[in-house]
Chain A
Amino acid sequence: MTKKIKLSELGSLIGGDIEALEGVKIEGDVEIDLEQAGMNPQMAYALGHETAQMAVHLMNISRILGYPVDQMIGGPAAPKRLNKLIESRFSVGKIEEWKTPIQEVVLGATSSDGGSRKSTITLGGENALPYYFDSPMPHRNHITMDVFDMPINMAKAVKSNYEDVINSPAEWAKKVVRDFGADMVTIHLISTDPNIKDTSPAQAAKTVEEVLQAVDVPIVIGGSGNPEKDPAVLEKAAEVAEGERCILASASLNLDYARIAEAAKKYNHVVLSWTQLEINAQKELNRKLMKQCGVARENILMDPTTAALGYGLDYAYTNMERIRLAGLSGDTELNFPMSSGTTNAWGAREAWMTASPLKEDSDWGPREYRGPIWEIITGLTLSLAGNDLFMMMHPTAVQVLKEITQTLYGLKETEPLNIDNWIAAVV
């Protein structure tokens, strides 16, 4: 870095006598750029060039004061001018540590495999961070859209898309697949929560059957999040969906995960191993699912928890990135594909509040545009950390996230564009 020094400080620095510069008048304090001389003065001292260096300083001062030193003694080498590029080649290696692939997990089953889905989805299989040149990603990211078994509170921008189907999970499921391009559907059985409607497991299982009939994509079955009730609900749902290779969401450390693991094994489903932003807890749960419950590796998916942009995304991002790097580098308790509850982004005030609660803030603008982009950026950030499956809500968010992740994956062809004159673009 360039070091500036005041002329008045120079005396002490060089230990010499400035007045020795005969015939020059010093007016005011002049700032001198020490680097101008082409040599770092401290380095010169270190190399023992004190005398040479002092001369350089003095010449600098003289030059600044208009004394024609350069003509007299040639001066320090003027900066070098080149008129031909020094040709060079750029190259960079691949990452040697990434030797362990991420487990492949197949979701859904077709009739030939004992299910009724039209096609299946494969997640995982990566040998590098997402979209890295070290090794192409074998499977693209996928999106599963949320469907609820009862009307719930939603941000206005989200709700307006679902008003016509809010009372019918089957119609809702059809709509997200048909109109919004969902790769999968998540049916959230939230009405089973004892504090909400306490719907029975049998009743909830009926809803699951309806959804399976309404759409032919693979599905995720989500409980209400109530740790006492979820095992019974997921068990029953797993039974009616036998052979469909659904994701059971979720097994976690604060409920009877063994029952969920058992249901997945018995009826051929995949377990979502859910922990809250803690890499060691994730290891522990995965280990328990494998060792203690005997769940096969190809039936495990992880949800390390998603916190929204501005509300803990820093934790969620770094947690996922660490998990993925550990998996690629050989931690076989962490090399599973990941899923994100990207919908959590709607919890952020910036996504749903009409305006900033603070007068000092710049205008937040219309919230209709803030919500979807909050969901997109939350998802995009996690996709860069290694997330494979996104649970989402807003159609625009789904569309844009698909566009960017599939572009990076290599699926999007466009006419080549010349950007060389972007500066003069009229936008």
Chain B
Amino acid sequence: MKLNSPLQVYKYLPQTNCAECGEATCMAFASHLIDRSKKIDDCPPILKENFKKKYLELQTLLAPEIHEITIGTGEHAKRIGGDDILYRHQLTFFDPTALAYDVWDTMPENDLVERVNKIQNFRKFYVGKFLKVDMVAVRCVSGDALKFAAAVRKVSETTKLPLVLCSFDPAAIKAALDVVKDKNPLIYAATEKNWIEVSELALNYKVPVVLYSSDLDKLKSMALTFREMGIKDLILDPGTYPQGKQLKDTFERFIKLRRAGIKEGQKDIAYPIMAVPLNAWLVFKDAVAASYWETVLASMFTVRYGDILILHSLEPYAMLPEVHIRDTIYTDPRTPVKVAPGVNEVGSPTKDSPVIVTTNFALTYYTVESDLSSNKINCYLAAVDTDGIGVEAAVAGGQLTAAKIKDTFQKANFEFKDKTSHSTLILPGLAARLQGDVEDVTGLRVMIGPPDSGRIPGWMEKNWPPKPK
């Protein structure tokens, strides 16, 4: 964005401090526009006619450096691009890299449906949510437009995930577009050879389109040409070579494009970038080797500026790291991920159920919670407010203390005498050193659990219920 201080933004706001936006002052609202936690439309007065000019100016000035593009429709629609920075500590990255997994039109129908289901059903629980993948890329391998269109139809009947229609043959793309034109698919790709026909399709069907060339001059020329024709939703594929010097050059192209777009404000190429880690399969025939190398390429281009990836391996050892590295890079570094402190019920606890203490760091809390609930352990789980810090660091840093633990139960009106038959609480193994303090401060019996909450079930078998004193 072109503005970088709240003061600059403030000049465009109504400056009445009416607080309708939920902020006390226009200045406070301005700082939220800068850090992108609020949108201009959250200020009702500026939407009025008399502010129209300022509104429009502000909208242009606040637009992200990298053009934002939506692929697909409805709840599964995916936004990519939208970035303003080169390094995550400078703010945060927006619009997580879209992961598109491939199917192809020469697959038998049953296999095709099964593969699509595998893609759309993939999930990995992580800090209170499921990590999932985003799109299906349909490749035209047959060279037959009708066959391609039929495969695309089958895929679109099977999933609501956005589609990427992959063919260098404009006739094939057109046949597929006729089938899914209402679903805002991404078309891949316009090249030096076919761009005239593909641009015609992008215009007629109003769909986002990928431009492909590993020559950055050509890529820029195409981008300029398409833009001139009024096609704005462009994605750049600068070619993903899987090995050797060619891979080194590929990495360089990604850095160059993004630096030009963000640091130098070169609007002409400030579009989302696509990488094709699938190309690892062009050189590795062994499935494990290919999956590994594909995951390496996917991770590298998630860290360095890939906005959408085309992938092939559905092996869990490829998909798990892929969704995790994406989450790693796109987690907002400004806010530790935490849960609300308090005492929660897991399952349906009774008076004989254990009371377990953990911290309110989301990763810690959800790990423990899922270990308990998936093992059907009914209990009370207390999330102590450690400012979103995990157990060991919170003990070391003084956010997990006996006083804090006591406070958590008090604030929740949790009376051990009424709620339990045992007046006992269980501390994490990594907080063992708090045992004495907690006993003194709360007057309860304190047991020390294992270091890893995954071992609580085994530990319970031996240690629960506690032996009467």
On chain B, the residues within 8 Å of A318 by CB distance are 87-89, 333
Q: Is the CB of B195 within 8 A of A85?
A: yes
Q: Known contacts being A80-B228, A318-B88, is A384 close to B304, with CB within 8 Å?
A: yes
Which residues of A come within 8 Å of B, CB atoms? 1-2, 33, 38, 42-43, 45-46, 79-83, 85-93, 95, 131-133, 276, 309-314, 317-318, 321-322, 325, 349-350, 353, 356-366, 369-370, 372-374, 376-377, 380-381, 384, 400, 404, 407-410, 412-417, 419, 421-427
A377 touches B295 (CB 8 A): yes
* Docked-complex contact B252 and A133, CB < 8 angstroms: yes
Contacts of A81 in B (CB 8 A): 199-200, 229
A310 & B315 in contact (Cβ 8 Å cutoff): no
Do B246 and A414 touch across chains, with their CB atoms under 8 A apart?
A: yes
B216 close to A (CB within 8 Å): yes
By a CB distance below 8 angstroms, the chain A residues around B168 are 421, 423
For residue B155, CB closer than 8 A to chain A, the reply is no
Q: Do B241 and A377 have beta carbons less than 8 Å apart?
A: no
In the complex, which residues of chain A have a beta carbon less than 8 angstroms from the beta carbon of B244? Answer: 407, 412-416
Nearest CB to that of B278 among chain A residues? A422
> Quick check: is B147 within 8 A (CB to CB) of the other chain?
no
B126 at the interface (CB under 8 A from A): yes
B104 to chain A, nearest CB (A): 8
The closest CB in chain A to the CB of B138 belongs to: A423
CA distance A400 to B318 in the complex (A): 14
With a CB–CB cut-off of 8 A, which chain B residues contact A360? 123, 125, 130
| A425 contacts B89, C-beta separation under 8 Å | no
List residues 234-273 of chain B with CB under 8 A from any CB of chain A.
239-248, 251-252, 255-256, 259-260, 263-264, 266, 268-269
Stretch at the interface among B8-16, B323-331, B345-353, B434-442: B323-331
How far is B218's CA from A291's CA once the two chains are assembled, in angstroms? 54
List 30 A–B pairs whose Cβ atoms lie within 8 Å, in order of A's numbering.
Answer: A1-B68, A42-B56, A46-B52, A88-B220, A88-B221, A276-B393, A311-B363, A317-B88, A318-B88, A318-B89, A318-B333, A321-B87, A321-B88, A362-B316, A364-B316, A366-B317, A374-B321, A380-B296, A400-B293, A407-B247, A408-B247, A408-B248, A409-B248, A410-B248, A414-B244, A421-B168, A423-B167, A424-B143, A425-B282, A427-B290
Residues from chain A with a CB closer than 8 A to the CB of B292 are 372-373, 376, 400
Q: Which residues of B contact A309 (CB under 8 A)?
A: 321, 324-325, 328
Residues from chain B with Cβ under 8 Å of A372 in the complex: 292
B370 at the interface (CB under 8 A from A): yes
- A387–B283 CA distance with the chains assembled, in angstroms: 28
Question: A79 to B316, Cβ gap below 8 A?
Answer: no
Shortest Cβ distance from A405 into chain B, in angstroms?
A: 10
B391 within 8 Å of A (CB atoms): no
- With contacts A377-B299, A410-B248 known, is A42 near B52, CB below 8 A? yes
Chain B residues with Cβ below 8 Å from A314 are: 328-329, 331, 333
Q: Mark B287-328, 1 if CB is under 8 A from A, else 0.
A: 010111101100110011000000010011111110011011
Alpha-carbon distance between A426 and B370 when the two chains are bound, in angstroms: 41
Q: Which residues on B sit within 8 Å (CB–CB) of A363?
A: 316
A88 to B211, CA, bound (A): 15
B448 at the A/B interface (Cβ < 8 Å)?
no
Q: Does B445 touch A at the CB level, under 8 Å?
A: no
Q: Which residues of the other chain, B, contact A416 by a CB distance below 8 angstroms?
A: 244, 246
| Shortest Cβ-Cβ A-B pairs, 3 listed | A414-B244, A365-B316, A427-B281
Contact B317 A422 (CB under 8 A): no
Contact between chains at A79 and B299 (CB < 8 Å):
no
Contact B225 A82 (CB under 8 A): yes
Q: Is B61 an interface residue (CB 8 A)?
A: no
Cβ of B221 and Cβ of A86 under 8 Å apart?
A: yes
A363 to chain B minimum Cβ distance, whole angstroms, is 6
Known A80-B228, A364-B320, A427-B278; judge A381-B328 contact (CB<8 A): yes
Q: Which of B121, B122, B216, B454 contacts A90 (CB 8 A)?
A: B216
Asked if B140 and A424 sit within 8 Å, CB to CB, the answer is yes
Tell me whether B44 is interfacial, beta carbon within 8 Å.
no
B206 within 8 A of A: yes
Known: A88-B221, A357-B454. A46 touches B141 (CB 8 A): no
